[in-house]
Amino acid sequence: MSLVTAPAAVAATLEEEEPEEAGEEGPFAEAGTTTANLPNQPSPLRWTGRFLAQSKVLKCNKNPKICFAAGSPGPNCCKKKCVNLMTDRVNCGACGKKCKYTEACCKGKCVNLAFDKRHCGQCNNSCEKGNYCVYGLCNYA
């Protein structure tokens, strides 16, 4: 008999709980919309993109001086893009010279930061004389 009354007591307590208020704030409250009043029409974002609002980007192949402007990634022009040949992994030291996956471009040369004494863990981080670079740490072990 107690097994029958236990589910009835649980059902009674569930009915006593107050239902959620209709005016309760949801994830769309800040924007002033709710899921109930969203239109069934497709969103205008579907047929427009952020590229329509952008102005035409200048390319350095026609005007190489733009690479020297403030905010430019670098002073060199490779494949119509401004790059820094001293630090760019895809154009390291020369246009189109790629570093391997485990390497970085330091001073225009591809180096392995895990084992290079002059670039241990990061570019231009030299280990002291007599120390080795292991796993990007000087004198590891």
Q: Are 68 and 74 in contact (CB under 8 A)?
A: no
Residue 31 counted as domain residue: no
Average pLDDT for the chain: 75
| Residue 21: band (very low, low, confident or very high) from pLDDT cuts 50, 70, 90 | low
- Number of other CB atoms surrounding residue 92 within 10 Å: 25
Q: Is the pLDDT of residue 120 over 80?
A: yes
93 plus 63 within the same structural domain: yes
The domain total for the chain is 2
* Domain that includes residue 62, residue range: 58-98
Please provide the DSSP assignment of 81-115 as one string: EEE-TTT-SSSSSSTT-PPPTT-EEETTEEE-TTT
In this prediction the pTM is 0.55
**In whole angstroms, what is the distance from residue 6 CA to residue 10 CA?**
6
Amino acid at the residue 87? T
Q: Is the pLDDT of residue 11 over 70?
A: no
Q: Compute the average pLDDT of residues 26-49.
A: 53
86 plus 106 within the same structural domain: no
Which spans in 1-140 are helix H? 2-16
Q: By three-state DSSP, how is residue 134 classified?
A: strand
81 plus 106 within the same structural domain: no
106 plus 139 within the same structural domain: yes
